[in-house]
Structures are given as C-alpha cells and as structure tokens.
Structure 1
C-alpha cells in the first residue's frame, strides 16, 4: 500500500493526520532539531531523520522512500529551500504536478500563467524608475512574505532594498519583482482539482497575519514615520474567512480558468491543491496578486473541515485528508500516475 510522506514543516501535521485517517502509512522527513516536537504526535508512523531537508535529494533518502512505497506531498518549505532543478530531480513520486512548482517560484512565469488564466492582476512595474504610485516589492519563490516591502518612489525603493541587504534579509544579487499595490480585504482562495473526477472543488478561504506590518496600524502615524525599520510581511499565522455567497460564482470561474490555463501551459496541469491569493476592493472585485501551486499553510485552520467542504462531503474533510483520499482512490483504480509526477 502507498504511504504518504512529507517534510516536517509548514502543514505536515495536517497532511499526515489526514493520511492516517484514510488508513495510509505516514512518513515524516524530519530535521534532527525538530525530532522532539514531532514525536509528540501518534499518527506519524515513521521518521527519516536528516540534518537538512536537502538530504531528500540524496540517493539514500530517496531509496528509503522508494522502499516504503511513498508518495511525497510538496508544500511551501520544499519550494523555499530547494531550486526548481532540485525539486524536479526528486525521483520519489510527487503528488500533483512538480513541474508547475517552477511556475510558482519564478515571478515572470507566475505572471504569464495568471495572465493566461485571465485573472485580474495588479500592474507589474518593470523597473524601480517606473514607480509612480505605491508598489509592493517581492522576492522570488515561497518566502512567506519575508523580505517584501512597500515603496512609493524609486528613492524609497533603493533605501529600503539597501537596508534589507545590510540586515541580511535579502542578498544584493536577488532579482526582486515589483507590482502595484492592491488594497482591499485579503482573501486567499483554496481549491482542489481532482484529475480522477475532472472536477474543481472550492475548499475554503483564509487571511494571513503578517508581522510586523499589521502591528503598525496600532501605532500613531507620526511614530510610524519615525521608525527606522522596514516593516516585515513575514506570515505568522492564519485565520478563517467566509465569503458572501454572491461571490462564489466568480470564485469557481477563476478556479476553472486557472486549471484550464495550467493544462495548456504546463502538462499535466494544476492537479491537487492550489491557492489563488488576492484582495477584494470596495466594489467586491477581486484582484489576484499570487498563486500557490500546492497545499498552503492556511488550510491548517480547517483540520476538522471547512464550511465549504461541509457542502461537498458528509464528513470532516481537511485538505490533508482530501489529498490522501485522492491517492487512495488512484491506487485502487491503478491511476497513481494520473495524480503524481
């Protein structure tokens, strides 16, 4: 029987608990420094202890996963700590489409896929000299918001960039991506696409809490201006959100368009969990500034199921459990190759 494996970080507890609930064996690739934490949880059957997650690239680790008949579930830590080439070199079957993770990690490719999907996106700003209004500056890949900053002028861009370089938050050689800042209510739309059923499922919505940009709102403006620190967008946690029902049709339309675009641009397409991330403005219009082509940590708030999944399943269904259910159904029907790459 197939086992479910993942890296010990991000949403590993949800993934492995869901797999255990589905009757599958569970494997955690765990850094030695976190072994004590993960030993607390009884649903983890096996641990592969490593000094660094990079060891999953080594033959010894991959042979161990192969012996255990493992499917690897990718999440944000995999993307944050490894290059696209390294991820694509992993021989262990990976749930979903490992090739699309390159499109998530590269800002230009990400923008191309979002345009292909006809998602409403903020205007990209080609160079710092083109800044004429408030922009947000982002790093490549899954940085969890760390190193992002706002700027309203070219001068402010260079000042903040140089400060973050001096603090060691970003490197001077990093290619940063600039886009116009979209204001509104943050909404991270979580989906699951099943290639077995050829159906899109809307899983839920979360909001992300970023430190210390959120805390600035509680400080008088004159004190904010005196601060010498570049505010951080580092994600600390997540909270649930339920949308007005009238918005759901557009949510499904965006999800369908994204799945269709992914099929055209990066075979076999957007299989499994993904997230379209953005804001709703005062007219309830959505602007999407990101996508994540795998499970997102915001699904952790729905370990007992989301309001939207309660409409689709007459049982508690986390995203981790939904992934395991797909793997189990694929194995039963001899279609594991349809849900892994």
Structure 2
C-alpha cells in the first residue's frame, strides 16, 4: 500500500512535495548533504533523507526508507543517478514510465528526436560536424560541469569548427565533450514551454501551463545595449536558472494540443505503455506560425 510520495530533492521537487501534501500524502525527500536547506525551510517534507551523493539513492539503506512510497522522477534524478541504475537497481514504484527517461538524450539509439520523427512533429534538422550547413546551433557538454552544456551559433561549417577550436583552447569543452556534440539547424523565433499532463484514467491530455526559460548569462546579455555587447564581447552561457509564466495566442493552441497528442501516441508505440503523467515540449514559433519542437 502506498503511504507516501518521494522525490530527489532538486529540480522541481518542491512543486511535487507541495502537491503531495495538498493531496494528504506523507512526503519523503532525498537530499544531498550541503543542499538540504530549502527542504528544511519549506513545510512540505515529512522525512528528509541525507546522502553524500545522489547516486546513493540506490543504496540499500535509502531504498528501505523509500519502500512504501511512489517516487516521482525529475531530470536531476536521471542525470545524477543514471538510466541503468534507475531501470535495474531502483525497485521503488515510479510515477510514470522509467524507461522513457533515457529518451531525453540527443545521441544513441534512444533519443528524443527519434520520438519526434515517429510523431511526425517538426524539429530542427541535425547535421554532422563539418557537414555544409548554416546557420546552426551547436550543443555539447562542458568540460568542468558535464551536466551543463555549451551552446553557440555558427554561420557555416567553417565557422562552427573555428568556434569549437576556441572553446577547446579555453578549456570550456574537452575531447569527451565531442562525444556528445549536437549540431542542429538554427531556428529563429519565439521560445515557449508547453507543460502537459496525460492522464491514463481519463485517457485525456491536459495543458497545465505555458512558460519560458530564464538562462544565465543569456538573460543578462539580452539586457545590454548592442554597443555594450560588442565592446564587452561576453562568453554567452545558456544555464537554466528559472522559469517565468507566459501566454501564447489562442489561435496557436490548436497546434500546441496537436503536438502534445502526437507525442503521446508516438511514445505509446515506441516505449510502451508510453507517457504516464507530466511532460514538457519546448518549441519555437516561427514567423510563419509553425511550431518547431527542440526539447
């Protein structure tokens, strides 16, 4: 019998914990030592489990304390614990489909763009490094913080190679970063996140909210006049540090629901039973009012 709701204390854990308390569930959070204060300060955690590293979540003593709970995964859970451990060494019931988590990646057989292609949802075209294309957006893990990514826009294949050499020289990326490099079509438009919930009981797709990312230092660069940007020439980073609410014109909501429904159906076919619960599609609205999903 389920007696509690548990989470890894990071990412969107406070939202989950607050909702669980509202529904009268006991709550459990697993926090890394040194990052526990928010979960002590907000009155939404009944039991706080401290670990040296998040990967310790699969240790026997932690699993024992999570035994009567349903675990709600978030992106930090995937990144810090790892897909293989989640699938093979984490016997706690998960809210959702644990085998879908690895499909958030861009490389390998299980990748997000394969799902979008199966759903017939437009996405940025992808290229190999050096392949004639432009403009492109290049993404690859940082050398010192592999969970974060370097991004840069290149006008051509030659420009991409030159900018990549500069990043390597400055040690922003390294040879290991190149193993997970992604080169994509640069799509110019307005960015949105559509936050969906698919309820299996009602067989219904719900749109809960629309928001946008706040990224550092990109958000600060936006606020600089063009002359100052040229003079300072900052190294632009795209580190996600928050979200802000947004609205989208109602005439586009038909397309928003359409991509959500297509994505649910594709996931059901490829990774059965598919999506169970919340998911987000991040997309760009082009001047032609097309939706291009990129994350």
Common topology (TM > 0.5) = yes
Corresponding pairs, count: 285
In the alignment, which residue of structure 2 is the partner of 1:31? 32
Which structure ranks higher in relative contact order (CA pairs < 8 Å, sequence separation ≥ 6)? 1
Q: Does 1:181 align with 2:186?
A: yes
In the alignment, which residue of structure 1 is the partner of 2:244? 239
The Cα shift of 1:194 comes to 1.0
Residues of 1 paired with 2:14 and 2:152: CA distance? 31
Residues of 2 paired with 1:171 and 1:82: CA distance? 23
In the alignment, which residue of structure 2 is the partner of 1:114? 116
In the alignment, which residue of structure 1 is the partner of 2:285? 280
Q: Does 1:151 align with 2:154?
A: yes
- Please say if residues 189 and 287 of structure 2, whose CA atoms lie closer than 8 Å, have aligned partners that are also in contact: yes
Structure with the higher fraction of residues in helix conformation: 1
In the alignment, which residue of structure 2 is the partner of 1:161? 164
Residues of 1 paired with 2:154 and 2:43: CA distance? 47
1:229-268 pair list within 5 angstroms = 229-268=234-273
SS at match of 1:95: coil
After TM superposition, the score normalised by the length of structure 1 is 0.77
Structure 1 gap ranges (5+)? 291-341
SS at match of 1:148: strand
The Cα shift of 1:111 comes to 1.0
- Please say if residues 4 and 70 of structure 1, whose CA atoms lie closer than 8 Å, have aligned partners that are also in contact: yes
1:293-304 pair list within 5 angstroms = none
- Please say if residues 62 and 92 of structure 1, whose CA atoms lie closer than 8 Å, have aligned partners that are also in contact: yes
SS at match of 1:99: helix
Residues of 1 paired with 2:77 and 2:160: CA distance? 29
Task: Let me know the Cα RMSD of the aligned residues.
Answer: 2.1
1:84-99 pair list within 5 angstroms = 84-89=83-88, 90-99=90-99
- Please say if residues 57 and 81 of structure 2, whose CA atoms lie closer than 8 Å, have aligned partners that are also in contact: no
Residues of 1 paired with 2:62 and 2:192: CA distance? 37
SS at match of 2:10: coil
In 2 relative to 1, CA 226–87 (structure 1 residues): closer, same or farther, beyond 3 Å?
farther
- Please say if residues 207 and 240 of structure 1, whose CA atoms lie closer than 8 Å, have aligned partners that are also in contact: yes
Residues of 2 paired with 1:72 and 1:171: CA distance? 35
Structure 2 gap ranges (5+)? none
